[in-house]
Amino acid sequence: MSRICEVCGKKPIVGSRIVRHGLKKAKGGIGLHTTGISKRRFTPNLRNVHVRTANGTTCHMTVCAACLKAGRVTKA
């Protein structure tokens, strides 16, 4: 199963996980220091749903939760 919404085309994007250690300057420390950066993926919230199409038939689609809430598709 691909991780792409069939309605809006939303797909996973890449970001970073940043680890910071140390005491904040406001609390009397020398400040936060970055001690590690690693890659991570932000995946969309996808659902497999029965969708009613324009001509009245139904089919399975992979749709993100944002499209379901916005009413871009009609559940069968």
56 — pLDDT class (breaks 50, 70, 90): confident
The mean of the pLDDT values for the chain is 94
Question: What confidence score (pLDDT) does residue 1 get?
Answer: 61
Residues 33-65 as b/e (b if ≥16 CB within 10 A, e otherwise) read eeeeeeeeeeebebeebebeeeeeeeeebbbbe
Percent of the chain with pLDDT over 70: 99
Average pLDDT, integer, range 5-17: 96
58 — pLDDT class (breaks 50, 70, 90): very high
The model carries a pTM of 0.74
